[in-house]
Amino acid sequence: MPSLLHDLRVPVVQAPMGGGPGTPALAAAVANAGGLGFLAAGYRSADEVAAEMAAARGLTDRFGVNLFVPGPRAEPQRFGTYMEGLTEVASEGEVGEPRWTDDDWEAKLELLRREPIAVASFTFGCPQAEVVAALKATGAEVWLTVTTPEEARQAAAVGADALIVQGHEAGAHQGTFDDAGAGEAFGLLALLQLVRAETDLPLVASGGIATGAGLAAVLVAGASAAQIGTAFLLCPEAGTSEPYRRAIREGGATEITRAFTGRRARGIVNRFLREHRDAPSAYPEIHYATAPIRAAARERGDSEDLNLWAGQAHALAREEPAADIVARLNADARQALEAARRADS
Amino acid sequence: MPSLLHDLRVPVVQAPMGGGPGTPALAAAVANAGGLGFLAAGYRSADEVAAEMAAARGLTDRFGVNLFVPGPRAEPQRFGTYMEGLTEVASEGEVGEPRWTDDDWEAKLELLRREPIAVASFTFGCPQAEVVAALKATGAEVWLTVTTPEEARQAAAVGADALIVQGHEAGAHQGTFDDAGAGEAFGLLALLQLVRAETDLPLVASGGIATGAGLAAVLVAGASAAQIGTAFLLCPEAGTSEPYRRAIREGGATEITRAFTGRRARGIVNRFLREHRDAPSAYPEIHYATAPIRAAARERGDSEDLNLWAGQAHALAREEPAADIVARLNADARQALEAARRADS
């Protein structure tokens, strides 16, 4: 099946990074260097997304938009104890209301139908076949994020054009369809082999890819491109906050946690994560509850109460313009392929 | 640095598999097909290992032996509660004594000095530099298993000839130096990139590699070979028990657990694993405590009380002779490299 994945000059997709790091400037820089950039529609109103799309259109002729598939409302008793704990430790007025929203789902879909884009990608669930079909009718490709072979089967069944295969190495949220019932935490390479056995759809590999050798490896494993986020966090084009940049530069172990948002996500271990390993599965309720705590921490430059999303290879992130990173990954990937070919012959 | 890794006709190392699956016949079949086979010295006396080595020598001219580096004795209070729970659920007489041993360490080292082999590999710790040097003086290569960049640094510092880089996808025990303080569970591909940034030593990639595409991917990522275990479990040459074979054929999710041995190891989720997620870090004490329970389960063909070690890609294991698996992996890896090269040009 032809996909724009096969037209990319460089097989690098910039991961949508909500909450700040992703910007139209970053998406455009990656696209103009031969890859594909993404805007993160999550946590924003449809109007805000429309404004970002307009900004991106001024900078590049092709980009994607990532949407969160809304999940079920959590029963309040599931997060009551956690909320009490948050209220005790947070300064007065800092804890937000644990509300549920559908993240402006219908309005965002309507926006993407009205103003077609190159690719609509989805995380946190499997959209209905009609949603997928309506977007495909605009000329967009629809890519669905999967973390298990079973999710890959479901995504193929609703008509996905491509699958973003996300390993547990990935920074930020796992795209798992059902966070509460999250199953096995597959490593990327095992998952690529298992998903390839399920479907012939084009695959985009995601999770801990930070070097040209890593990029070349997923291409050889059967992916058509790599989706890369953490390696772009230190770019001048990224909207990464100062305390977050400092944490990436300083480094440290990462862990998958529900502490910040009520959904499993990988970040660098800091005080807030350590003290909230008991966080329940309740997204977006916990996201909204902790948002003011995190905003205040960002404001005062404190990286200990912030979500420091980072993939397992974050130590390899460099402070370079995005175009230089794309060019380096591409050149190093070619070299890695060539070296393996020589060793093989 | 020249290593026998660079002489292998096929870049496949058969993972040492203690407790039954690994046999001299399996090691020889892999070696005679162009790869390298390993005997598992763990859980055996030095005399038993000597007998296996003699058997292997009759079948092939080259193989490796894997040793467990002895760890500290656990304080009895660490596993007291767990032992009480085991005693309550097990039938009379089924729980073993939670004893500590050094796994006949000195005698096994003496054996390998007296009867040199091609490769001595180590897991569960970093042997002292003198141990490494003494084995290298026999002409053997010394390969050390690492699961983090920090362990890679330590292994390089004691003079390892190569590093076995083990991702969290791997079946059976994680080779982590300090189980109790086990840090981040790195996925294989992220770990390969991070370790390559630390050292120029030859690397052997381990964890969830079950196809030629997976093999080619780790070669491109910088490994000189893949260490593969689970994919050989259903071979006629493997000593895999019948209930264990049945569980692999039936499939299911895997999880990392300390339930069976007191050390983190990946296996298919069964009743015993589910009911003992609270198992402490106490190896080999818990191994000896549960050994009679597991032996009895094996005897009666019950896969619910057995350790069903398996990597995350176990669904791709096939019932084939080991030589056919090695040949298939090699052919498919060449094809994957060639396809990526064509897509790149």
Distance between CA atoms of residues B183 and B188, nearest Å:
15
Q: Is B316 in contact with B211 (CB distance < 8 Å)?
A: yes
What φ, ψ does residue A165 adopt, rounded to 5°? -95, 110
Residues A208, B219: C-beta atoms closer than 8 Å: no
Residue B167: φ, ψ to 5°: -85, 165
Longest Cα–Cα distance in chain A: 67
Which tokens sit at A236?
């001048």
Structural element, H or E, at residue A120: strand A119-123
Chain B 231-290, residues with CB within 8 Å of chain A CB atoms: 253-255
Inter-chain CB proximity B337 and A193 less than 8 Å? no
Non-local CB neighbours of A20 within 8 Å, separated by 6+ positions: A239, A240, A241, A244
Question: Which residues in chain A touch residue B217, judged by CB atoms under 8 angstroms apart?
Answer: 189, 192, 217-218, 220-221
Contacts of A193 in chain B (CB under 8 A): 208-211, 213-214, 313, 316
What fold does the segment set A4-344 form as a domain? TIM Barrel (3.20.20)
Contact A189 B209 (CB under 8 A): yes
Task: Tell whether B79 is within 8 A of chain A (Cβ).
Answer: no
* Residues A245 and A234: beta-carbon distance below 8 Å: yes
- Residue stretches of chain A with pLDDT short of 50: none
* Per-residue pLDDT in tens (0 to 9) along chain B, 345 residues: 679 999 999 999 999 999 999 999 999 999 999 999 999 999 899 999 999 999 999 999 999 999 999 999 999 999 999 999 998 877 666 899 999 999 999 999 999 999 999 999 999 999 999 999 999 999 999 999 999 999 999 999 999 999 999 999 999 999 999 999 878 999 999 999 999 999 999 999 999 999 999 999 999 999 999 999 999 999 999 999 999 999 999 999 999 999 999 999 999 999 999 999 999 999 999 999 999 999 999 999 999 999 999 999 999 999 999 999 999 999 999 999 999 888 876
Query: In chain B, which residue's Cα lies nearest the Cα of A221?
Result: B213
Question: How many angstroms away from the CA of A309 is the closest CA of chain B?
Answer: 15
Closest by CA to A223, choosing from A202, A195, A194, A199, is A202
In terms of CATH architecture, what is B4-82+102-235+318-344? Alpha-Beta Barrel (3.20)
Q: Say if the Cβ atoms of B316 and A193 lie within 8 Å.
A: yes
**Could you tell me if A8 lies within 8 Å of chain B, comparing CB atoms?**
no
Q: How far apart are CA A220 and CA A216, in angstroms?
A: 6
Could you tell me if B139 lies within 8 Å of chain A, comparing CB atoms?
no
Cβ-Cβ contacts under 8 Å, B184 against chain A: 253-255, 312
Q: Which residues pair with B165 in a beta bridge?
A: B146, B205
Please tell me the distance in Å from B228's CA to the nearest CA on chain A.
12
| A95 closest CA partner among A107, A103, A87 | A87
Contact B312 A187 (CB under 8 A): yes
What is the number of CB-based contacts under 8 A between chain A and chain B? 168
Residue A12 distance to chain B (closest CA, Å): 13
Is A116 an 8 Å CB contact of chain B?
A: no
CB–CB of B220 and A316 under 8 A? Answer: no
Alpha carbon A260 to chain centroid, angstroms: 16
Cβ neighbour number for residue B159 with a 10 Å cutoff: 17
A337:B334 CB<8 A: no
Q: Give the CB-side neighbour count of residue B51, counting CA atoms within 13 A.
A: 5
Q: Return the structure tokens found at B81.
A: 């509660």
pLDDT score at A188: 98
Interface of A with B in 172-211 (CB under 8 A): 183-194, 196-197, 207-211
Contact A169, A309 (CB under 8 A): no
CA distance A167 to A148: 9
- Give CA angle at A13 (A9, A18), nearest 5°: 150
Greatest C-alpha distance within chain B: 67
Task: Indicate the domain borders of chain A.
Answer: 4-344
Q: For the complex shown, is ipTM > 0.90? A: yes
List chain B residues with CB under 8 Å of A213. 192-193, 196, 220-222
The minimum CA-CA distance between A198 and chain B, rounded to whole Å, is: 11
Q: Measured between alpha carbons, how far is residue A131 from residues A66, A160, A199 in Å?
A: 14, 11, 21
Alpha helices per DSSP H over chain B? 24-32, 46-57, 76-89, 105-114, 129-136, 149-157, 188-196, 212-220, 242-250, 271-275, 285-299, 322-344
Neighbours of B87 (CB within 10 A): 12
Q: Tell me, what's the pLDDT at A92? A: 62
The per-residue pLDDT for A65 is 98
**Distance of alpha carbon B99 from alpha carbon A39, whole angstroms:** 57
Residue A13 contacts B where some CB pair is shorter than 8 Å: no
What is residue B87's predicted lDDT score, i.e. its pLDDT? 87
Q: Phi/psi of residue B154, each to 5°?
A: -65, -40
